[in-house]
Structure 1
Amino acid sequence: MFKTCKFKTYNFFLFSLISCFVCLPSVLAHEFIIKPVLMSVEPGEKVPFSVISAHVFMVSQEMEPADKVEVSMIKGDAVTPLKLTSNPILMSQDGIVLCKEHGYSILAGHRKGMIWTQTTQGYKQGGKKGLKNVVSASKKYEKFCKTIIRAGKADNGYGKIINDKLEIVPLTDPGTVKINTEMEFKIIYDGKPFSTDVFATYDGFSANPNTYAYFTQCNSQGIAKVKITHPGNWMVRIQTESKQAGQDYDIHVMRAILVFEVK
Structure 2
Amino acid sequence: MRHALQWLLSLVFVIQMYVAMIGLAAVFTPVALIWRGASFFWMQTFCRWTRFSARWIIGLRTEVRGEIPTGAVLVASKHQSFLDSIMLFSVLTGPRFIMKKQLAWIPVMGWHALRIGCVPVDRGKRGAAIKMMLARVEQGTQAPGQLIIYPQGTRTAPGAVMPYKMGTAALYQELGQDCVPVATNVGLFWPRHGILRKPGLAVVEFLPRIAPGLPNGAFMAQLESGIEAASDRLMREAGFQTPSDHAGRNGQ
Q: Which of the pair has the greater relative contact order for Cα pairs under 8 Å at 6+ separation?
A: 2
More helix by share: 2
* TMscore range, shorter length: under 0.3
Q: TM-score, normalised by structure 1?
A: 0.27
Q: TM-score, normalised by structure 2?
A: 0.28
More strand by share: 1
